[in-house]
Amino acid sequence: MQEQISKIREVAVEEISKATDAKELDNVRVKYLGKKGELTSILRGMGGLAPEERPIIGSKVNEVRDELENRIKEREKEFAKEELERKLKEETIDITLPSTKVKRGSKHPLNRIIEEVEDLFVSMGYDVVSGPELETDEFCFERLNLPKGHPARDMQDSFYITSEYLLRTQTSAVQARTLLANTEKTPIRVICPGKTYRRDDDATHSHQFSQVEGLVVDKNISLADLKGTLEVFVRHLLGENLELRFRPSYFPFTEPSYEVDVSCFKCGGKGCNLCKQTGWIEVLGSGIVHPNVLKMGGYDPEVYSGFAFGTGLDRLAMFKYGITDIRLLYQNDVRFLNQFDRLDR
């Protein structure tokens, strides 16, 4: 019996060391130590042994079983180690390889300008508001003192969708909306940047362009407020030392109206190709809100007064960044946009 056990041990030890993977090893374990395993059967058959033999055989079997279990455990550890080494080798990362370049986007020049304008006006207590790009004739014209048939409508070549709906030609439409929406008729201080549309298409005019509108309504608002505000605005955006010139003009929704010129930031006012030798560049339309506009917006012009201004953001971006064709702003050519990658503002 003892010999039989030794024999089993010998063969089992050999099979354990020959097992090449975890599955084979498990088969060996079942074969010798499992419920119907060879060692287990010996323990089961002990009833047939002489009583004095039982403890000897029992302890021998237990000894062999413990040994085999330990050897199996050792072998399992070896397999795990081999597996880990294999994986490490397979999944090594060559850190000397060049990396794939991560492409970073950049802010569109128009958005840069919009954010800069918004930051400035918000710092002065203005709200930023918006209105629909598909606008009604009523808000785009009528409520701005431009009734149907008014000759000044010809100043803007519009995209009409129906006889009542059009793509807004000016952010001024939001003036009328803001006045009307403020049901409490409290003072107003807003700017509205947004897209506008006209039937134009050349190097300095795009059918889609961007404007920012400003509107302030309160008691005792005067031209001095308008001038001071626009000086801060234009100088902040284009240069602190620039001069502003208010040239009388005509807009139906303001009276008096002014076009605002800024001393040429390229030649300093001496005259160059940018300012067409005049020393001045036109940047804004503005004026004192027409009493009719206030009245239609529900504000009593005897009590309230206001100023308004509007400017083309594309032109400002072109001046600021030296862009010569407005269409570049709308083509989204990455070679153009990349150039703004590293600007601070």
Please report, as ranges, the residues that interact with ligand DAH according to CB under 6 A: 170, 172, 213, 251, 254, 285-287, 308-310
Nearest to 236, CA basis, from 345, 315, 340 = 345
- Using the minimum distance from each CB to ligand DAH, give the nearer residue, 210 or 263: 210
- Using the minimum distance from each CB to ligand DAH, give the nearer residue, 131 or 287: 287
CA 39 to chain centre: 71
- Using the minimum distance from each CB to ligand DAH, give the nearer residue, 58 or 132: 132
> How far is it, in rounded angstroms, from Cα 75 to Cα 70?
9
* Structure-token match 């085999």, residue found: 68
- Using the minimum distance from each CB to ligand DAH, give the nearer residue, 57 or 140: 140
* Structure-token match 């608002």, residue found: 221
> How far is it, in rounded angstroms, from Cα 328 to Cα 204?
10
Shortest spacing between CB 199 and ligand DAH, in angstroms: 14
Shortest spacing between CB 243 and ligand DAH, in angstroms: 20
Shortest spacing between CB 178 and ligand DAH, in angstroms: 12
- Using the minimum distance from each CB to ligand DAH, give the nearer residue, 66 or 157: 157
Element (H, E) at 321: helix 313-321
Asked if 192 and 128 touch (Cβ cutoff 8 Å), the reply is yes
Shortest spacing between CB 212 and ligand DAH, in angstroms: 10
Shortest spacing between CB 215 and ligand DAH, in angstroms: 7
Phi, psi of 264, rounded to the nearest 5 degrees: -60, 120
- Using the minimum distance from each CB to ligand DAH, give the nearer residue, 25 or 281: 281
Shortest spacing between CB 340 and ligand DAH, in angstroms: 26
Nearest to 290, CA basis, from 175, 121, 136, 133 = 175
CA atoms within 13 A on the CB side of 297: 33
From residue 334, alpha-carbon distances to 216, 318, 329 in Å are 38, 17, 11
